[in-house]
Structure 1
Amino acid sequence: MREPPQLINRYRWYEIIGIYCGIGVFLTFVLAPFVEGFLVSLKPLSQLFSSPYRFIPENGSFRAYVTMWESVPGFGRYIFNSFFISTIVTAVVLCMVVPAAYAFARFEFKGRGTLLGAFLAVNMFSGAVLLIPLFRLMRTLGVLNTYFAMIVPGVAFLIPSAIWLLRTYMMRIPKELDEAAYVDGASHFYTLRRVILPIAMPGITVVAITTFIGSYAQQFIFALTFNAKSEYMPLPVGLYAYFGRQEVIWNELMAASFVGIAPAMIVIFFLQRYLVSGLTAGAVKQ
């Protein structure tokens, strides 16, 4: 019997070295701020401005992770508020974006291009530009100093990009699946729920992750403008409390930042497995 031909090596040794060196440089620039921030959280405050500057902390400890709770009372409440607001915003955005993205991806209707262009135009406006109109709207609705004052703007600013992202993913799903479901007598809603959603689950998961992160990070300006009660303040406002009048408590600020992003990292970690599980689910009729 003839031996199977050997696979051709696609890269030479120096090309492999160049690829790994490029990956190493990229990871260095990406991870260096996180590593430096973590090391700052381990240093005493007096050591942060010493000369010469020491990258590795001398006599480092996790004391800042304990004292941070004393410097800003109720910091745990700030974390809960950010997590709660981001969860509600993500749920509302998904409920509105999934059918909208399916409609934009599958149906031809008058004004579709104009609407998609309008969604892009919304993303061009900064939240600071719309603060005064939004404040007047929140005051009219009577939702100032409540969670809704941060949920409503978060949903409004995150829906356009989510529609574009999920619409692009749904356009890659073969239309023959819709046609086969239509031949079997399925309605558009049934087709979306039983055929498209299982296949689009990776795209929906990506939209959920990006929406959650976006909502978790953009609450500062809305909270300061539409909220005056500390019990509704999110995490960014809690981090701002470490900026004192005379100095900034950098080690506790870094420690609080790592503690604050922990819930978001946990959510992302558990959602990652759905990125692959929905790739082919539902593509074959049972």
Structure 2
Amino acid sequence: MIDRYRWFEILGLYAGLLVFLFFVLSPFIEGFMVSLKPLAQLFSTPYSFIPKRASFDAYFQMWQSVPMLGLYIFNSFFISTVVTLIVIAVVVPAAYAFARFQFAGAGLMLGAFLAVNMFSGAVLLIPLFRLMRSMGLLNTYWAMIVPGAAFLIPSSIWLLRTYLIRIPKELDEAAWVDGASRLYTLRRVILPLAMPGIVVVAIMTFIGAYAQQFIFALTFNSKSEFMPLPIGLFAFFGKQEVVWNELMAASFVGVLPVMIVIVFLQRYLVAGLTAGAVKQ
């Protein structure tokens, strides 16, 4: 028989969840409340958490304050999407090779991947700038796509390799007995089973690419038509004051594409749990 929770255990469980959700969601709730307040009310004393005259004026005014805000949001979404596609295209075969093949230097290469993640992008800005200039990529989308993908590939290989190791090697051997090649085995046998892990890597890559655009865009790009959202948000920081309500409104609108992508990919994450488990 399955043990049932007693009433006080259930109460304690929900109380713990509420405390956890409070600390996780309170910054987002506060930011949303700030976006609904008039700018003058943000500095009133005593401070009020609930807006007295809540309105969505900031969500309309921000488009006038930063006319190219829509382009900045599109640039961030486009850069993150291209980075994610490049990372997945490189990581899937690389992680499969590290998970299935035993070759000299494999451990050393995996250790080097971890060492790459120890370096901040700010430390490598000067050599990266010289590299981007020599390749003629400055002031283009590629100036943010190439380093963004390069910094995200090592950790993605580690993550997907760990998932692929859990897939039994007997499946590969059974496919080889049937005459399948390595590439066919990867495409028709391993990939359907590894889809949950691939989706997780894609989600983390997209979020990471969306978050790391600031330093690369600030260094490698000076044209407004290629600027991503983090640079566009700087327009709300004036010399005398910061337009906090419009800044918060723009931040919530800018993060909306990420939320839509995550919600969309979660469907495939659940579907991938059983994909490939039955031979077609």
Residue in 1 that maps onto 2:86? 92
Q: Supply the distance in 2 between the matched residues of 1:139 and 1:8 (Cα, whole angstroms).
A: 65
Residue in 2 that maps onto 1:36? 30
3-state SS of the aligned residue for 2:139?
Answer: coil
Q: Which residue of 7, 30, 40 maps to 1:13?
A: 7
Q: Supply the distance in 1 between the matched residues of 2:2 and 2:142 (Cα, whole angstroms).
A: 60
Q: Which residue of 255, 277, 283 maps to 2:271?
A: 277
Aligned letter for 2:178? D
Residue in 2 that maps onto 1:247? 241
Residue in 2 that maps onto 1:161? 155
Q: Identity over the aligned pairs, expressed in percent?
A: 77
Q: Supply the distance in 2 between the matched residues of 1:275 and 1:113 (Cα, whole angstroms).
A: 30
Query: Offset at 1:8?
Result: 4.3
Q: Supply the distance in 1 between the matched residues of 2:225 and 2:175 (Cα, whole angstroms).
A: 50
3-state SS of the aligned residue for 1:241?
Answer: helix
Q: Supply the distance in 2 between the matched residues of 1:281 and 1:84 (Cα, whole angstroms).
A: 29
Q: Which residue of 106, 112, 119 maps to 2:113?
A: 119
CA distances 1:101-136 after superposition (whole Å, capped 9, x unpaired): 011111111101001000000000000000000000
Aligned letter for 1:69? W
Equivalent residues, number: 280
Gaps of 5+ in 2: none
Residue in 1 that maps onto 2:67? 73
Residue in 2 that maps onto 1:55? 49
Q: Report the TM-score when normalising by structure 2.
A: 0.98
CA distances 1:44-63 after superposition (whole Å, capped 9, x unpaired): 00000110000000011000
3-state SS of the aligned residue for 2:236?
Answer: coil
CA distances 1:203-259 after superposition (whole Å, capped 9, x unpaired): 100000000000011100000100000000000001111111111100000000000
Q: Which residue of 206, 210, 227 maps to 1:212?
A: 206
Residue in 2 that maps onto 1:171? 165
Report if the CA contact (8 A) 1:69-1:75 is conserved. yes
Query: Offset at 1:22?
Result: 0.8
Gaps of 5+ in 1: 1-6
Query: Offset at 1:94?
Result: 0.3
CA RMSD of the aligned region, Å? 0.9
Report if the CA contact (8 A) 1:177-1:283 is conserved. no
Residue in 1 that maps onto 2:261? 267
Query: Offset at 1:284?
Result: 2.7
Residue in 2 that maps onto 1:3? none
Q: Supply the distance in 1 between the matched residues of 2:31 and 2:132 (Cα, whole angstroms).
A: 37
Q: Supply the distance in 1 between the matched residues of 2:130 and 2:235 (Cα, whole angstroms).
A: 27
Residue in 1 that maps onto 2:76? 82
